[in-house]
């Protein structure tokens, strides 16, 4: 497979958000079905398993075994690379008596997503750091755009959704979304947090003081939430709690979100 071909194939799969893996023959002892440098790209099927997208490492049982192993690696949320040696014997459908080493590299294409409930000063400042976080950011607010203060910038690389009941949007968020609650209404904050606790998001943050959080914990407990459920919420947000200036809070929160993105999720 020509270098330009596999690069273009990976780009196409990335654009389609299809997790995939590249398998490369890196070593060959004795005779084998393909020479070092031969590669193939496989991608996950929506219904499970993988399918061959481009190239070949020689077909037969060896290629099938490689595809099965690639499918196992693609179950991991983080990118993975490893080398595996295969004897070219009856187990792999070969009778060459040699050995081949395959290098696997996976591309989960897990897109970073942040949902910010609220579109005020801190929300807009944090959304502006989306490119720094390499994340898709969406602001969700109960107000019409014209009523939001400060006014939304004309040029922005994040999206906004204005809906009557923002808390209902929680149910449709992808599981890997990082959620931050900072609306203009404490009662609405509580409704959103209560709904979000029932989802296993990697991060659920609530802007506010320790006093606000103490009130929220009491109200959540009154609703029947257990301590371990309430503990899912991060409040106050951010790595630093020394400034109330919106941009400083946004930078502190962004640093915390970056740590979450870089943290391996449980398998």
**pLDDT tens, residue order, the chain (267 aa):** 677 889 999 999 988 889 999 999 999 987 778 899 999 999 998 778 899 999 999 988 999 999 999 999 998 877 899 999 998 765 445 555 678 999 999 998 877 899 999 999 999 999 999 989 989 999 999 999 999 999 999 999 999 999 999 999 999 998 889 999 999 999 999 999 999 999 989 999 999 999 999 999 999 999 999 999 999 999 999 998 778 899 999 999 999 999 998 876 554
Does residue 120 lie in a domain region? yes
Residues 92, 166 within the same domain: no
Residues 226, 163 within the same domain: yes
Does residue 48 lie in a domain region? yes
> Can you give the CATH number for the domain in which 258 is found?
3.40.50.720
How many domains is the chain built from? Answer: 2
pLDDT value of position 264:
61
Residues 208, 137 within the same domain: yes
- In sign, the C-alpha dihedral spanning 187, 192, 196, 201 is negative
Tally of residues, the chain: 267
Residues 124, 64 within the same domain: no
Residues 94, 196 within the same domain: no
pLDDT value of position 267:
44
* Contact indicator for 35, 21 with CB cutoff of 8 Å: no
Does residue 209 lie in a domain region? yes
User: Could you write out the DSSP letters of every residue in the chain?
Assistant: --HHHHHHHHHHHHHTT--EEEEEEEEEES--SS-TT-EEEEEE-TTSSEEEEEE-S--HHHHHHHHHHHHHHTTSSS--EEEEEEE-SGGGT--S--EEEEEEEEE----EEEEEE--SHHHHHHHTTTTTTTEEEEEEESS-GGG-SSPPPSS-SSEEEE-S-GGGGGGGS-TT-EEEE--S-HHHHHHHHHHHHTS--SEEEE-S-HHHHHHHHHHHHHTT--HHHHTTEE-S-SS--S---HHHHHHHHHHHHHHHHHSPPP-
| Structural domain range at position 144 | 112-262
Among 56, 72, 107, the domain boundary falls at 107
Among 107, 135, 164, the domain boundary falls at 107
Residues 81, 135 within the same domain: no
Among 107, 126, 153, the domain boundary falls at 107
């Amino acid at each position: 497979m020509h270098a330009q071909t596999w690069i273009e194939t990976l780009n196409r799969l990335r654009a389609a958000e299809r997790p995939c893996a590249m398998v490369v023959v890196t070593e060959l002892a004795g005779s084998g079905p393909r020479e070092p440098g031969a590669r193939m790209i496989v991608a996950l099927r929506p219904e499970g398993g993988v399918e061959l997208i481009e190239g070949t490492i020689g077909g037969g049982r060896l290629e099938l075994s490689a595809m099965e192993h690639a499918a196992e690696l693609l179950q991991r949320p983080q990118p993975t690379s490893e080398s595996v040696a295969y004897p070219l014997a009856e187990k792999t459908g070969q009778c060459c008596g040699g050995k081949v080493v395959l290098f696997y590299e996976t591309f989960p294409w897990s897109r970073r997503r942040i949902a910010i409930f609220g579109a005020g000063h801190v929300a807009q400042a944090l959304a502006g750091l989306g490119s720094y976080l390499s994340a898709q950011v969406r602001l969700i607010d109960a107000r019409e755009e014209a009523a939001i203060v400060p006014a939304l910038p004309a040029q922005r690389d994040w999206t906004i959704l204005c809906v009557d009941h923002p808390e209902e949007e929680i149910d449709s968020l992808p599981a890997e979304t990082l959620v931050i609650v900072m609306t203009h209404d404490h009662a609405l904050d509580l409704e959103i947090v209560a709904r979000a606790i029932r989802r296993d998001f990697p991060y659920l943050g609530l802007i506010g003081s320790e006093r606000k959080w103490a009130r929220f914990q009491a109200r959540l407990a009154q609703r029947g939430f257990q301590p371990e459920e309430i503990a899912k919420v991060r409040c106050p947000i951010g790595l630093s709690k020394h400034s109330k200036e919106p941009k400083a809070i946004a930078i502190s929160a962004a640093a915390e979100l970056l740590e979450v993105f870089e943290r391996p999720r449980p398998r």
